Each structure stands twice: as structure tokens, then as C-alpha cells.
């Protein structure tokens, strides 16, 4: 089925249920990889488990640049396809390889230089500092596969191909999971590499995934004359996602520093929450991925009603499935923590923290989907504002404020932040519906003219 027929006329529920399962399966494998990665490191050394929590914000920043740029390409391509401009869509895809390589080189150079300073800023333990530098330098410097895979995956998704990226992500995660124990513990005749082995396994998995999506995702580079305009448009459309993901880096770093004032065990507990979070956020992450091309296509085609229905379906679907996460975090937090650690201090801190965080899962659905909706309709300012409000204005300041009353109070930051962000998102959405180009009486041609002025 052509993209025009699929995105433009198929029932919204059928679109999401066709697109979501491959994405969810791939993210499930990724989540299992994250959990197993931490599981093996936790069995190898306590310092390594803490190091993973400290390096995590840097990995998020790397993913923000790679995936956010891919989302920018995805969004522009979907909009171009929505108005029948396939040649232009392929031009944007062709810019992807050079852009990915350039971003990787810049990020790798910076991370190699700043990793020792970053490690010493985050902890006073020499063992943890050593592990942070080793793991961080390997996963950040040799991240070529991550950048290329992210670009090619989003190109394929813009054309409605979710199966190839799913296959690639599953293969990459499987490679990682197989190599983890072999390289960490030195099994099957391989050398015992410890935390360096975990980093090497991660890099190998990323390269494997990139090779799989390369065949279908690669596009020829267009003429050099289009690069300035196309790159500017890609970053304009991808900036909200880059900002949203980058903001995660800084707010998690900020929260780590706040918790470090209490103990390294508090930092570890937060890190274990984020490991489990990747598992329970699969439905929400799938909705965020799937609704972008659908909304962008129909908004460019002038079909605002389908945009509204897509948002509504994504929110309902996310709420139902995120409720399972709430129940687990509230009812069995200690059991979840014991999967990774036997440290009773970490378990006691996390047992209380997980219950507070679990309550935040339901308002988190709308606090995270609204920015994606505004990104998809080209309203990058509102998307960026919601992200900044959530991560900069609320998370770290509230975390610091609540921590003044004690460690247990710190965890209240999560439900308060998600609830306030959701309320602001609703206000922005109601404002969007009052705009002239979002009203039913406006013709599709008028909306297309509006889109063309924006792009």
C-alpha cells in the first residue's frame, strides 16, 4: 500500500496497530538488552553498576543527536510525501549519511576529551571514576553505528517500513546480549575485559544494526547546493526531539548530582529506575515514533481531523498500557531492585522512590506525547517549550527543593513535574485548535499553502 493511501485514508487504529508492534518488539529487545547489560555488570562489580548510572546521561546526549536528527529527516520526508513531492523527500534522505558522520566525529572528539572531568565531577570514588572513563570513552568514541543506524531507520519509517528497523534493532540487541557475558567475564576463550567488555558489546550491536538498515535506507547524496537549506530544515524539524532528548541528559545529570549529596547508593537507585523505565516505556515510545509520520502527512495534506484522532488514539493506548508499569512500581519495587543488586541500602532507597515514580507514569503519557504532536505539525516552539518546562524549569529545581526536606521527599519531584507539564500541554493544544489553519472550515489547499510557507 502506498504511503498516500496508508497514512491518508486507512483507519487510525489500523495504522497504529500496524506500525506499533514492530517498534514495540524492537524496543522490548532494546529494553531487555539494557536490563541484561546492567545485570551482568552488577554481578561483576558494584563500581561498574554505579558507573553505568553516571555515564547514562552522556549516552542519552549521544542518542539525542543521532535519533533527533533522524526524526528531523523523518518529519520532513513525511510532509513532502504528503503533498506528493517524493524527489525532494529522497534528497533529504540523501543528506543523512554525511550529516551522521559529521555529528559522530564532533561528538566523539568532545567526549574523549571531557570524560575524565565528567567522571570526577560525578563521584569521589576512584574505582567508579576509572570505570566511567573506560566505559564512557568506548561507547561514545566508537558510536558510528548508532548515528548511521538512527538516520537510516527514520528514513525507512518515513516510508512506512517498520519491519526492517525492527529487525535491525533486534539483531543489534541480540549481538550485544551474546557478547556481554563473553567479554565481561572472559568466557569461551575470550579475555576478561570487565566493564570495557560491556562497552565493546554495545558498540558491536550498534554496528550490526546499522549494516542491516543500510541496504534499504541508503540514498544517494544530492547536489552540494541543496545541503545548507536541507540541513537547516532537518535541524528545524528535529530540534524539538534533540532538545527533548538532550534535556534528559541535563536533568538526569542534575538529579544525579543532587542524589550524590546523599550517597552513591542513591545515585545507583535512580540509575536502576531508568533501566526499568526503558522496559515499561515501550508502549509510550512506540506511540511517539508511530504518530510522527501519520500526523505530519495528514497535517501537510490538510486533514486536521485525522491529526486529532491520531493524538487521541495514542494517548488512550499509552494510558492503558502504562497503567501496568504503575502497578509494578507501586506493588513490587523491592523485587525489581533485587534483580540487579543485593545492596540493602540501594534497595531501601529505591523501594520508596519507585513507588513515587510509579504514580507519575499516567500523567507522563500526555507530558511526553504533546511535544511530539507539536513537533509533527511543525510547531517547534511549543514542542521545545514543553520540553524545557519539564526538564529545566521543573525537574531539577523541584528535585533540589524537595531534597531539602530529605531523600524520601526528593522522589515527589516526578509526579509533580509530569502533572504540571501535562496541564500546560493541554493548554497549548487547545490554543492550536483555535488557529485558523486548524479549523474545519479551512480548505486543504489553504493548509498546504500554510505548510509550504513554513518549509
The residue among 393, 397, 401, 398 whose CA lies nearest residue 415 is 398
The C-alpha atoms of residue 337 and residue 319 are separated, in whole angstroms, by 24
Q: How far is CA 81 from the centre of its chain?
A: 25
Q: What's the total number of domains in the chain?
A: 1
User: Is the Cα torsion angle 209, 210, 214, 216 positive or negative in sign?
Assistant: positive
Q: How many CA atoms lie within 13 A of 273 on its CB side?
A: 28
pLDDT tens for the chain, 455 residues: list them: 455 556 666 777 777 777 777 777 767 776 776 677 788 888 888 788 888 888 888 888 898 888 888 888 888 887 777 677 888 888 888 888 888 889 999 999 999 999 999 999 888 889 999 999 999 999 999 999 999 998 898 888 887 777 888 888 888 888 988 999 999 999 888 889 999 999 999 999 999 999 999 988 888 778 778 888 888 888 888 777 787 677 777 888 899 899 988 988 998 899 899 888 878 887 788 777 778 888 888 887 778 888 888 899 889 888 988 898 999 999 999 999 998 888 899 999 999 999 999 999 999 999 999 988 998 887 878 888 898 899 889 999 999 999 999 999 999 999 999 999 999 999 999 988 887 555 544 444 544 544 444 44
How many Cβ atoms sit within 10 Å of the Cβ of residue 312? 11
Sequence-distant contacts of 114-120: CB under 8 A, at least 24 apart: 115/58, 115/140, 118/54, 118/58, 119/54
The residue among 94, 91, 96 whose CA lies nearest residue 80 is 91
The residue among 305, 307, 417, 444 whose CA lies nearest residue 372 is 307
The C-alpha atoms of residue 85 and residue 54 are separated, in whole angstroms, by 45
The C-alpha atoms of residue 180 and residue 159 are separated, in whole angstroms, by 34
The residues, ordered by sequence, that sit 6+ positions from 327 with a Cβ below 8 Å of its Cβ are: 358
How many Cβ atoms sit within 10 Å of the Cβ of residue 434? 8
- What range does the domain containing 15 cover? 3-454
The C-alpha atoms of residue 211 and residue 168 are separated, in whole angstroms, by 8
The C-alpha atoms of residue 54 and residue 354 are separated, in whole angstroms, by 19
The C-alpha atoms of residue 162 and residue 164 are separated, in whole angstroms, by 6
Question: Do 208 and 175 form a contact (C-beta atoms < 8 A)?
Answer: yes
The C-alpha atoms of residue 120 and residue 109 are separated, in whole angstroms, by 19
Amino acid at each position: 500500500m502506498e504511503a498516500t493511501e496508508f497514512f491518508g485514508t486507512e483507519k487510525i487504529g489500523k495504522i497504529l496497530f500496524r506500525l506499533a508492534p514492530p517498534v514495540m518488539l524492537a524496543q522490548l529487545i532494546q529494553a531487555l538488552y539494557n536490563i541484561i547489560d546492567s545485570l551482568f555488570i552488577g554481578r561483576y562489580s558494584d563500581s561498574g553498576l554505579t558507573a553505568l548510572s553516571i555515564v547514562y546521561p552522556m549516552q542519552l546526549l549521544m542518542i539525542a543527536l543521532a535519533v533527533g536528527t533522524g526524526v528531523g529527516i523523518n518529519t520532513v520526508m513525511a510532509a513532502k510525501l504528503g503533498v506528493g513531492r517524493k524527489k525532494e523527500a529522497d534528497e533529504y534522505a540523501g543528506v543523512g549519511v554525511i550529516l551522521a558522520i559529521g555529528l559522530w566525529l564532533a561528538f566523539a572528539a568532545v567526549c574523549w576529551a571531557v570524560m575524565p572531568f565528567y567522571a570526577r565531577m560525578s563521584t569521589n570514588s576512584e574505582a567508579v571514576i576509572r570505570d566511567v572513563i573506560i566505559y564512557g570513552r568506548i561507547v561514545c568514541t566508537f558510536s558510528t553505528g548508532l548515528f548511521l543506524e538512527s538516520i537510516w531507520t527514520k528514513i525507512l519509517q518515513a516510508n512506512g517500513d517498520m519491519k526492517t528497523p525492527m529487525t535491525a534493532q533486534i539483531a543489534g540487541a541480540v549481538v550485544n546480549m551474546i557478547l556481554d557475558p563473553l567479554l565481561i567475564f572472559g568466557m569461551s576463550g575470550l579475555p576478561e575485559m570487565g566493564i570495557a567488555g560491556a562497552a565493546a558489546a554495545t558498540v558491536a550491536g550498534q554496528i550490526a544494526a546499522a549494516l542491516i538498515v543500510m541496504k534499504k535506507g541508503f540514498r544517494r547524496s544530492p547536489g552540494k547546493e541543496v545541503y545548507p537549506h536541507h540541513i537547516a530544515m532537518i535541524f528545524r524539524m528535529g530540534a524539538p526531539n534533540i532538545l527533548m532528548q538532550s534535556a534528559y541528559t541535563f536533568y538526569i545529570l542534575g538529579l544525579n548530582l543532587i542524589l550524590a549529596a546523599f550517597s552513591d547508593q542513591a545515585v545507583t537507585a535512580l540509575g536502576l529506575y531508568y533501566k526499568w523505565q526503558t522496559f515499561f516505556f515501550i508502549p509510550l515510545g512506540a506511540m511517539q515514533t508511530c504518530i510522527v509520520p501519520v500526523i505530519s502527512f495528514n497535517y501537510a495534506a490538510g486533514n486536521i481531523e485525522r491529526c486529532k484522532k491520531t493524538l487521541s488514539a495514542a494517548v488512550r493506548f499509552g494510558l492503558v498500557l502504562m497503567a501496568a508499569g504503575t502497578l509494578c512500581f507501586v506493588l513490587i519495587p523491592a523485587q525489581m531492585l533485587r534483580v540487579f543488586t543485593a545492596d540493602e541500602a540501594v534497595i531501601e532507597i529505591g523501594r520508596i522512590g519507585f513507588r513515587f515514580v510509579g504514580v507519575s507514569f499516567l500523567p507522563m503519557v500526555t507530558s511526553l506525547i504533546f511535544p511530539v504532536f507539536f513537533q509533527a505539525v511543525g510547531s517547534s516552539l511549543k514542542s521545545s517549550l514543553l520540553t524545557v518546562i519539564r526538564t529545566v524549569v521543573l525537574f531539577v529545581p523541584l528535585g533540589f527543593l524537595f531534597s531539602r526536606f530529605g531523600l524520601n521527599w526528593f522522589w515527589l519531584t516526578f509526579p509533580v513535574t509530569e502533572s504540571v507539564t501535562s496541564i500546560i500541554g493541554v493548554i497549548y493544544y487547545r490554543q492550536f485548535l483555535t488557529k485558523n489553519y486548524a479549523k474545519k472550515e479551512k480548505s486543504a489547499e489553504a493548509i498546504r499553502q500554510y505548510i509550504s510557507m513554513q518549509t
